[in-house]
Amino acid sequence: MRVHVVIDHQSPTPPYEQVRSQIAAQARAGELPVGLKLPTVRALAEQLGLAANTVARAYRELEADGVVETRGRAGTTIAPTGDTSHRLAATAAAEYAALVTRLGLSRDDALAAVVTALDATRD
């Protein structure tokens, strides 16, 4: 099984974000199974025609999001993301709820802010 990433050099989305989002989407969809070893940073950078630092940033962000795990010389593998993604989202939601409560926002205003933010990320 192989990671399939396509870089659109005409896109306003930075290349590292294109790499990050495509790998994350493939992992969520099960196209990249848990435990699959990803190419090294250098190998993927060479394959995509990108700088190694660009791919390294994507891998760091994927690791921070719980999508991949890096184990030194053992390499970077796809992590079991379902639980991690839900846990991270629940933590962020709890922090947001605490903030809007402190600010005195109504439930409707707080939810409207979330919908607006989600809609903005999908444009």
Structural domains present in the chain: 15-79 (1.10.10.10), 82-121 (no CATH)
Q: What is the pLDDT of residue 82?
A: 54
Query: Which residue type is seen at 13?
Result: T
Span 73-120, pLDDT tens digits: 889 999 886 556 666 777 788 889 999 999 999 999 999 999 999 999
- Choose between 6 and 73: higher pLDDT: 6
| pLDDT tier for residue 72 given thresholds of 50, 70 and 90 | confident
Sign of torsion over alpha carbons 47, 58, 56, 62: negative
- Choose between 40 and 28: higher pLDDT: 40
